[in-house]
Amino acid sequence: MDILLSPQLLAAALITGVLYALISLGLNLIYGTMRLLNVAHGDLVMIGAYVAFMAFSLFNVGPLISMFAAAIICGGLGWLAYRSVLQNLLANSEILARLEENSLLLFFGISVVVQNLVTLFFTADRQGYEYLSAIVEIADVRLTGARLAVLVVGSVISIVAVLYLRFSLFGLAMNALIQNRDASAVVGINVDRVQMYSLVIGFGITGLAGALISVLEPITPVMGFPYTMSAFVVIILGGLGNLWGGFLAGLLLGFLEIFGVAVTGPEWRSVLVYGIFIGILIFRPQGLLGHGRIAR
């Protein structure tokens, strides 16, 4: 069992965990502030990955720069989605009564549209490019430059984002909205604006994560779906709407997956992930780190 002490494994767990944390952050933000279940979330990862791929193949610009473009484009999509559709959705009492279910269907529709538009433009062919492929050695850990970059950039961005959303004025307003929607409107928080920014930030961060992921796996129009699933597992684990919990849960899932698999055998990976997920839903729906209050 000395494999469990391997620093290489620790690094792998951190990379996986940080990506999960980063990707689930946006999903959590959007659920927390608006109670929208965004099943198109992984498609933002996909869009971010295509942005990075295009930037690299057309202008020879690496993902560490194009990730900001991906963030801006996806954030812009968030703005567009809010102004064109979601704003009305959140104002319609008939829909509001079953908001989770309706938003889920709505985003499923959006997901189908987005995936097929991308297929029309780029074909379904896999894409990929070479970037920072040299090995970097730090202490006993050896990582490709790209994975190291993902680890560093992913950690920095997710920590900055979590801290910002916890301590800034906007973050406070947003947390108030997550805690209690009606009361926050009464105390003078501009609910509309907070919602829109949540969407823009949530989409933007996810697009950025997609640009990072573009160096790790083949880019296809259907690559986002597994990330939607992982992000849901994470935010359930951390408690719906609990940003800090979600961040820790992302790391936790990364560790569970990497170390759990090292102990049980890789064929159990998905069973492990979904098993934990279902166990949590049944026995602790407020999340591992929640306090008995169901955030809805």
Partner 1 sequence: MLKRLLTASLALVGMFGLLGPAHAADPVKIGFSIPKTGLFAPAGPSQLNAYLVWQKMVNDKGGLDIGGKGRRKIEFVQYDDKSDPARAVKIYEKLITSDKVDLVMAPWGTPHHFAIAPVVERHKFPLIGNTAASVALRKVKPGYLWFTTPMMPDNLAKEMTAMLKSRSVKSVAIMYNLLPFASENIQFLMPALAKAGIKVLFEAKYPPDIKDMTGMLTKVKAKNPDAVLVYSYPGDSILYMNQAREVGINAKTQYVMVGPAIGFFRGMFKGNLDGIVTMAAWTPGMKNTTGSQEFYNAYKKMFKGHEPDYLDSVEVFVSSQILEQAIAKVGLDREKIRQAVNTMTFDTVYGKIKFDGVQNSITPAGFAQIQKGKIEVVWPKQRATSSVVDKGAWAK
Partner 2 sequence: MSNSFKFICIAAVIIIPGSLSGFASEYMLGIGFTLFMYIALAQSWIILSGMTGYISLGHVVFFGSGAYVFVLIWGLVPVWLGVALSGLVVGFGAIIIGYPVLRVRGPYFVILSFGLAELVKNLVLINEARMYVSLRPVFGAPPLAQLYIAMLVLAVGATVLTFWIRRSRFGAGLRSIREDEWAAETIGVPVARLKLMAFALSGVVPAMVGAIFIMRSGIFQPGDAFNPIVSFTIVTMVIIGGSDDAPGPLLGVAFLVILQELLWANWPEIYMIILGALLIGFVLFAPGGIFSWLSKNISRGNKNAA
> Applying CB under 8 A, does 54 fall inside the site for partner 1?
no
DSSP-derived letter for residue 83 is: I
Show the binding pattern over residues 82-101: x = contacts partner 2 (CB under 8 A), - = does not.
Answer: ---x--xx--x-xx--x-xx
CB atoms within 10 A of CB 155: 17
The residue type found at 279 is G
> Applying CB under 8 A, does 291 fall inside the site for partner 2?
no
Residues 6+ apart with CB under 8 A from 87: 192, 196
Evaluated on CA atoms 257, 262, 267, 272, the torsion sign reads negative
* Closest-CA residue to 276 (of 225, 230, 223, 224): 230
> Applying CB under 8 A, does 143 fall inside the site for partner 1?
yes
Sole binder of partner 1 in the list 226, 275, 279, 294 (CB under 8 A) = 226
* Closest-CA residue to 171 (of 179, 119, 150): 179
Stretch that binds partner 2, among 53-61, 155-163, 210-218, 263-271 (CB under 8 A): 263-271
User: What's the token pair of residue 181?
Assistant: 């929607």
Q: Is 147 helix (H, G, I), strand (E, B) or coil?
A: helix
> Applying CB under 8 A, does 259 fall inside the site for partner 1?
yes
> Applying CB under 8 A, does 113 fall inside the site for partner 1?
no
Among partner 1, partner 2, none, the one that 104 touches (CB under a kind-dependent 5 to 8 A) is partner 2
Among partner 1, partner 2, none, the one that 100 touches (CB under a kind-dependent 5 to 8 A) is partner 2
**Residues in contact with partner 1 by the rule CB under 8 A:** 3, 6, 8-9, 11-12, 15-16, 116, 119, 123-130, 133-135, 142-144, 146-147, 216-218, 220-222, 226, 257-259, 261-262, 265-267, 269-270
